[in-house]
Chain A
Amino acid sequence: MKKTKNFSKFVNQHQLASMIVIALLVASLMTGLSLWLYRTSGAFRLDLSRPGYEQVRGDVIHDSKEEKPFSSSGKLTPEVIDDFNARLNKQQNDLSKMGNFGGEALSDSNLGLEQPEQPEQSE
């Protein structure tokens, strides 16, 4: 109880300094919380603004803003089906050009971990 009183007295005597300390504590807490969320949500894995990712940033494909979204309402005609198929084909075509996580990239030979071939021993 006495300690609390002393603390209140100290805060009253040093209002500006106390305010700064409290502001710093709150800011640190919020920053810590943000970083924790950033890491645990996995968002950092897709964050190309991290250092070292400068070279690959340009490889990200951005959506075309000119294309109107496919409407979920309206009459369903063969033309609408054709339009839908064309959009789906475009998506498939785009996907076929993207990295498909093939096994070759992490193979021993690609990483230089392969044992060199032993020369055949002559009898």
Chain B
Amino acid sequence: MKKFIIAAIALVVSLTGAFAVPKALAMDYDYAIMMANCHAAQAVISQIEKADAVSRINRGRAYNNTLDLLFAMNARLSNNRIAAPRLIELTSDFETQLAAFRASYDRYDAELTRVIDINCAQKPTEFYDRLSNAREYRQTIADEIKQLNKIIDEYKSELNKVAEGLE
């Protein structure tokens, strides 16, 4: 009976978080920093959002030009009766990846706008959660950029193989 009471007390104490005090204090400390600095952080994020809009516009235009080039080369190959299914496949992959890049940017920018608009001093948890989401979405865009670059490299390599046959 005595053992049961001790076990029950230990369980209650652990459930009430008595042993979690240092962690809670650390979290309070983090939130205190966040609440003090979040307005300045929002100003920085606002500047980042503007710079990102320019990057998105410039990249979007450059990718469109690249896609036009790939389409033109595929059509030229076809007109010359040269079969290059891999190049067509890579162009299709590029187009799909470009659509994903555009969609990811929209999702990222929407989340970034929410991070800027939120009352961070009153809702520090929501502010940080949304900021974490924005970071995740930004990483997705960075990955898609790498993927688009990889496809261009692969296209060049495949085209050079086709060109070897012309000489």
Contact = CB atoms under 8 A, between A and B. Distances in A.
Contact of A72 (B76, B106, B109, B138): B76
Contacts of B68: 69-70
Contacts of A100: 55, 142, 145
Interface in B32-77: 33-34, 37-38, 40-41, 44-46, 48, 50-63, 65-66, 68-69, 71-73, 75-77
Contacts of A52: 46, 50
Interface stretch (A1-9, A10-18, A20-28, A78-86): A78-86
A100 B134 CA distance: 15
Interface in B128-167: 131, 134-135, 138-139, 141-142, 145, 149, 152, 155-156, 159-160, 163, 166-167
A61 B58 CA distance: 6
Contacts of A110: 44
Interface string B63-96: 1011011011101110110100000000000000
Given A71-B72, A81-B166, A92-B152, A111 B57 contact: no
A122 interface: no
Interface range on chain A (Cβ under 8 Å from partner): 35 or more
A46 B56 contact: yes
B126 interface: no
B75 to A, nearest CB: 4
B149 A101 contact: no
Interface string A31-60: 000000000001001101000110110011
Nearest to B101: A101
24 contacts: A48-B53, A48-B54, A56-B54, A61-B58, A61-B61, A63-B61, A70-B68, A72-B75, A72-B76, A78-B167, A80-B76, A81-B159, A81-B166, A85-B159, A87-B69, A88-B156, A91-B69, A101-B141, A102-B142, A103-B135, A105-B48, A105-B138, A106-B131, A112-B37
Given A72-B73, A115-B30, 20 more contacts: A42-B106, A48-B54, A52-B46, A59-B58, A63-B65, A70-B73, A72-B71, A72-B72, A72-B79, A73-B79, A76-B80, A84-B69, A84-B73, A92-B152, A95-B59, A99-B52, A101-B55, A105-B138, A106-B131, A115-B29
